């Protein structure tokens, strides 16, 4: 049977020390959120518990991470990063202009 890619780490939740299992990529995303927000994974977990999100602690953390980055993923942000439909259209437009410049030369 294949091994799980989940990583187990300790968290200090509302009711004391516990562990949480997340994928390595989600731990990385959580660390980035904590750096940006000036908090710790444990404090964030306690806030989530107090907010009364449905489901278990780990599920609530996964949903929070997804919602955090979805809220940050605006059209302007996508365009600046070169993602999304608007960036694709802009790149195609720039290519055509360059081609038109060459044809005019």
d(CA 61, CA 44): 9
Q: Hey, what are 45's tokens?
A: 């977990």
C-beta separation of 10 from 19 below 8 A: yes
- Residue 77: band (very low, low, confident or very high) from pLDDT cuts 50, 70, 90: confident
Q: Which pLDDT belongs to residue 101?
A: 46
- Which residue ranges make up each domain of the chain? 1-72, 74-105
- Residue 4: band (very low, low, confident or very high) from pLDDT cuts 50, 70, 90: low
Instruction: Name the CATH superfamily housing domain 1-72.
Output: protein bp1543 (1.10.3990.20)
Q: Which pLDDT belongs to residue 94?
A: 53
- What interhelical angle do 41-51 and 57-72 show, nearest 10? 100
Q: Which pLDDT belongs to residue 15?
A: 85
Span 23-52, average pLDDT: 94
Q: Across the chain, what does the average pLDDT equal?
A: 81
Confidence (pTM): 0.69
Q: Locate all alpha helices (DSSP H) within the chain, ordered by sequence.
A: 24-37, 41-51, 57-72, 75-81, 84-104
């Amino acid at each position: 049977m294949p091994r799980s890619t989940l990583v187990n780490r300790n968290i200090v939740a509302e009711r004391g020390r516990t562990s949480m299992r997340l994928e390595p990529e989600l731990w990385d995303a959580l660390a980035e959120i904590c750096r940006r927000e000036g908090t710790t994974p444990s404090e964030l977990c306690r806030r989530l518990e107090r907010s009364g999100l449905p489901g278990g602690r780990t599920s609530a953390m996964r949903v929070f991470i997804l919602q955090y980055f979805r809220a940050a993923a605006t059209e302007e942000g996508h365009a600046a990063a070169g993602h999304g439909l608007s960036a694709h259209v802009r790149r195609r437009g720039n290519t055509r202009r360059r081609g038109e410049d060459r044809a005019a030369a």
